A and B are shown apart, each in its own frame.
Chain A
Amino acid sequence: MSENVLCVEHVTMQFGGVVAVNDLSLEVNQGEIVALIGPNGAGKTTAFNCITGVYEPTNGKVDFMGAPMVENFPQGNMKKMYLGEHNGDYTRKLNPTPDRITRLGIARTFQNIRLFSALTVFENVLIAKHMRARQNFLSATFRLNWAEERRMRRETMELLERQGMTHLKDERAANLPYGIQRRLEIARALATEPKLLLLDEPAAGMNPQETQELTDFIRQIREEHNLSIFMIEHHMDLVMQISDRIYVLDFGKLIAEGTPSEVQNNQRVIDAYLGVADDAEN
């Protein structure tokens, strides 16, 4: 039951002399909703980018469904500049491009929405089906893939129906209200048929009511698509309500992990969020 889906092991991401993510290790199990929280600039999105192949981590390893997916160790100039730990533990360079990772079954949304804004809602979702199709450009041009094309369109329609977006299908994505854009981005990610969904601040800019709707929506898609969900979020209501476990990141380092109630009462987390009066301690 508690099958391990994502396992991040000692991942460090260093830009020049700045360590953005420092020795991060975490796990997401089958069917779990896990949240990654932390103050602004803690390195949460960088961590996401390391998992999804946008960046190659400087050191460390990421396993997906029990198989190694990303792995790297300090090379070239970085050998001398590396400031993190576990130097030498990893010796393999494995960094697939983001599209390969999506193919493996990890889909994501973006902090600042990245829809194909000139295209319609329907096309936005349909594009996600492209990757799993067996056609090539000749068969697609000469319409020899009509059966597959029809299936892709049908599945897209079904997905939009389930999200209650059928009536919007011919709208340009750019013309949608903000909240719907967020949901469309999630729908588009779901269309890639992921096993793990990464949400980068899904509730950013939403009012309490929209946040509540989103909470239900996330629960619903987990059930319907048999997903594990890993998300970055600042809305504590949302995080505390639906997360099974929470990881807290501060200055690139993991400072706490546990169930919502454990994290809520963790002194280091409170310090990180509220700030510590350094001189008062001395």
Chain B
Amino acid sequence: MTAMAGRAAAERSAAAIECSGLGKRYGRTWALRDCTLSLPEGRVVALIGPNGAGKTTFLSLVMGLAEPTEGTVLADGHPAGGPGALARVAFMGQDHPLYKRFTVADHLRMGCELNAGFDLPWARARLADLDIPLRRPAGRLSGGQQAQVALTLALAKRARVILLDEPVASLDPIARREVMTVLMTRVAETGATVVFSSHVVAELERVCDYLVVMSRTQVQLAGAADDLIAAHARLIGPGGAAAGGEGAAPAGVAAVLERSVSDAQTVLLARLCGPVADPRWESRSVTVEDIALAYMAAPGVRYQPSPRLSAVSGSGS
């Protein structure tokens, strides 16, 4: 019954997360505004932005831990926080909260008791791989181990949508790599969607295939990594007086995100709306990291290329 309802919901909407006009205000302060997003299924979505950009608020709203002030949000086709969504969405909070007096095994037992599809063998195997003792109280684990236990709980839920708030913040670089590999494997095995937030931009390339950049409580950029790479380029052209002054860019450029001018040359990081035919400009490809950093440095520029959302995506320049 629920499985059928789930399938029907999935057919109705191919989006893992669908939100429209979503906003959250705490007292007089808006933590998230005007968020309209459709995140496709089966992706690893990186949610990037400086502290206070609204990442945690967004994830809390999708999990149903916070109630929207305005707008709606569906997770795997179900209203956030309802029984349908709770069965399909997993969440790992910032600072990886655990019950300090519970042992690791107690946490796994809790996962089994409260979640119908909890993958206990997988969770046990992963914790054994990480040499995390099941009998130790969570309060006596290291910060990194606690993060791994919290992550294991979230992943073992076998959810359709997995929300991870700063999952690697307390991990060393090697553990970060391991976690990212596990995430990608899990997505490949189960077809789930992973959304993880981070204020660190490094290594996005290896991990995510969808990027959402948030700034100042709003979605600034959202798109598939491939599409974003295709739509952006680093352009190198004439420098000094020949550059043509502030704002000058060759035809085909929709928005300039970064500009550095020297006597010898001008370098732009730009979003394109067509081919750059001007022979004085050379076009080089950019990485997802380049794009994320460029948008974070230019918070006034918004871009959400999804055709469904054309009405709300901001103007390019």
A, B bound: no
